[in-house]
Amino acid sequence: MITIDHISKWYGKFQVLADCSTGIERGEVVVVCGPSGSGKSTLIKCVNGLEPVQEGAIRVNDVAVTDAGTNMARLRSQIGMVFQHFELYPHMSVLNNICLAQEKVLNRSREEARAKARSLLQRIDLSDQADKYPGQLSGGQQQRVAIARALAMDPIAMLFDEPTSALDPEMINEVLDVMVELATEGMTMMVVTHEMGFARKVADRVIFMDEGRIVEDAPTEEFFNTPRSDRAQAFLAKILQH
């Protein structure tokens, strides 16, 4: 469903992504990990065209993200994205956060959008917070709202960029639970995270990045049991200590 074909990207002279290729099938869950600065966020932002690439091509459902003529708004509306720092709209209530793109992009009626928002809030157990503002919620609650906001668009795939790394430890699980549920329901997911427990539980494949390259791309079991590169081994050793 998502094909990443030999992409390279530079910031000025600095190469962030070097000849990265991989693919994600429908219903597959792929975890991306790697040391800080290795290009994970950049890679995931290229998938929905938030960042342009200089070489290579990305296709989502056979639509070329990297083509100039592509209707990016339409394409992005089909791919949900969740950020490290939630990025909820601070001046809108939780309900309106979930309604905005439904109304403005999908042209749903106000009632339709609200009904959808309410059913999603119920699902993430936040029905009673609908009229609050993001700043009045805990980090974990905000991130669940952000997931609901993305799901409201009925996406064909979801991208997560370190969704739990800005959270206090006691809130990590409430967010991971929602993500695990999504994964088991068959959502196509690309998840940048260092939560190896999550990876073991639901990931089909793990991608390990270092210095802008995809160093390992292996089925989950294989990645944890027999990582092929020294880099990945060192990284795993460090992460699994905690």
Ligand X SMILES: Nc1ncnc2c1ncn2[C@@H]1O[C@H](COP(=O)(O)OP(=O)(O)OP(=O)(O)O)[C@@H](O)[C@H]1O
Q: Which residues bind Mg ion (CB under 5 A)?
A: 41
User: Which of another protein, Mg ion, ligand X, none does residue 37 bind (CB under 5 to 8 Å by kind)?
Assistant: ligand X
Distance from C-alpha of 14 to C-alpha of 132, rounded to nearest angstrom:
43
Inter-axis angle of helices 139-151 and 94-104, nearest 10: 20
Element housing 78 (H / E): none
- Taking alpha carbons only, the member of 239, 203, 242 closest to residue 223 is 203
Burial class (CB in 10 A: 0-12, 13-18, 19+), 53: buried
Residues contributing to the site for ligand X (CB under 6 A): 11, 16, 34, 36-42
Q: Is 81 in the site for another protein (CB under 8 A)?
A: yes
In the bound state with Mg ion, the residue whose beta carbon lies nearer, of 37 and 52, is 37
Q: Is 101 in the site for another protein (CB under 8 A)?
A: yes
In the bound state with another protein, the residue whose beta carbon lies nearer, of 141 and 193, is 141
| Continuous H helices in the chain | 40-47, 72-77, 94-104, 110-123, 139-151, 169-184, 196-202, 220-225, 230-241
Q: What is the distance, to the nearest Å, from the Cα of residue 188 to the centroid of all Cα atoms in its chain?
A: 10
Q: What is the smallest separation between the CB atom of 192 and another protein, expressed in angstroms?
A: 14
Q: What is the smallest separation between the CB atom of 214 and another protein, expressed in angstroms?
A: 23
Phi and psi at residue 226, to the nearest 5° = -135, 70
| Residue of 38, 42, 48, 129 interacting with another protein (CB under 8 A) | 48
Q: Is 104 in the site for another protein (CB under 8 A)?
A: yes
Q: What is the smallest separation between the CB atom of 117 and another protein, expressed in angstroms?
A: 13
Distance from C-alpha of 107 to C-alpha of 46, rounded to nearest angstrom:
26
User: Which of Mg ion, ligand X, another protein, none does residue 39 bind (CB under 5 to 8 Å by kind)?
Assistant: ligand X
Q: What is the smallest separation between the CB atom of 202 and another protein, expressed in angstroms?
A: 23
| Residue of 6, 11, 90, 165 interacting with another protein (CB under 8 A) | 90
Q: What is the smallest separation between the CB atom of 119 and Mg ion, expressed in angstroms?
A: 31
In the bound state with Mg ion, the residue whose beta carbon lies nearer, of 41 and 102, is 41
42 close to 16: Cβ distance less than 8 angstroms: yes
Q: How many residues make contact with another protein (CB under 8 A)?
A: 35
In the bound state with Mg ion, the residue whose beta carbon lies nearer, of 41 and 143, is 41
Listed ranges 70-78, 118-126, 223-231, 232-240: which one lies at the site for another protein (CB under 8 A): 70-78
Phi and psi at residue 137, to the nearest 5° = -105, 160
Using DSSP, state whether 174 is helix, strand or coil.
helix
Residue 198: partners with Cβ closer than 8 Å, 6 or more residues away: 31, 176, 179, 180, 191
Q: Which residues bind another protein (CB under 8 A)?
A: 45, 48, 50, 73-81, 83-85, 87-91, 100-101, 104-106, 132-137, 146, 149-150, 153
